[in-house]
Amino acid sequence: MDYLLAFLVGGSLCALGQTLYDRTRLTMGHVMVIFVVLGAVLTALGLYEPLIRIGGAGATIPVSNFGFVLTRGAIMHLEQMGLFGLLNGIFSQAGAAVAAAIILGFLMGLLFHPKG
């Protein structure tokens, strides 16, 4: 059941992104930015966590989840240490993904050449 829900929620988010891409003149970069911003706003409204409870990986794998982890980090640190936590917390939970992408990006750039 978890797998099916992940499939449905994740698939729907991607299909929504595709619709935005096909029906407007936005590039995929714009669509990704919209997803991240939406993820952040929904998190502050308290709506993204319920989506994760339903969809599991279907909600944590799409790029909107990046907005969620940035915002959740900011909110949690804000609660613990006040206003400075707002800055301190933003990358508190998103660091692993960014670090992994940078390290792997560097490695792949060393190892492979584009084939076109």
Partner 1 sequence: MRAIHAKHRVGRRSLVFPGRPSVLSTFTVAGPMEGQGPLGRAFDTVIPDTFYGERCWEQTESKMLREAIVHCIQAAGAAESDVDVLFTGDLLAQCIAGSYAARDLAVPHFGLYSACASFAEGLIAASAFLEGGFAAHAVVAVSSHHDAAERQFRFPTELGVQRPPTAQWTATLAAAVMLGYPGSPFAGGAGRVRITGATLGEVIDVGVKDPYDMGTAMAPAAVDTLATHFKDFGVPPSYYDVIVTGDLGAVGQRIAADLLESKGLAVKDRFQDCGLLLYDRARQDVHAGGSGAACSAGVFCAHFYRGMMNGSWRRILFAPTGALHSPVSSKQGEAIPAICHAVALEAV
Partner 2 sequence: MSSKVPDDAKSRYARDAARYRPRPPYLRNFLAAFFVGGAICAAGQVLHSAFVAQGLDDVEAGARMAAALIAVGALLTGLGVYDSLGRFAGAGSAIPISGFANSIVAPAMEFAREGYVLGMAAQMFVVAGPVIVYGVLAAFLSAAVRYLVLGTGG
Q: What does the binding site for partner 1 look like in residue numbers (CB under 8 A)?
A: 21, 25, 28, 114-116
Q: What angle do CA 102, 108, 113 make, to 5 degrees?
A: 135
Q: Which pair of structure tokens corresponds to residue 3?
A: 């797998």
Supply the angle between the helices 64-81 and 28-44 in degrees, to the nearest 10. 40
* Residue 61 DSSP one-character state: S
- Kindly write out the interface string for residues 55-84 of this chain, putting x where it contacts partner 2 by CB under 8 A and - elsewhere: xxxx-xxxxxxxx--xx-xxx--xx--x--
Cβ neighbors of 107 (< 8 A, separation 6 or more) are none
Partner touching 25 among partner 2, partner 1, none, CB below 5 to 8 Å by kind: partner 1
User: Binding-site residue total for partner 2 (CB under 8 A)?
Assistant: 79
Q: How far is the CB of 28 from partner 2 (least distance, A)?
A: 5
- Kindly write out the interface string for residues 14-33 of this chain, putting x where it contacts partner 2 by CB under 8 A and - elsewhere: xxxxxxxxxx----xx-xxx
Partner touching 54 among partner 1, partner 2, none, CB below 5 to 8 Å by kind: none
Cβ neighbors of 99 (< 8 A, separation 6 or more) are none
* Binding-site member from 47, 49, 54, 105 for partner 2 (CB under 8 A): 105
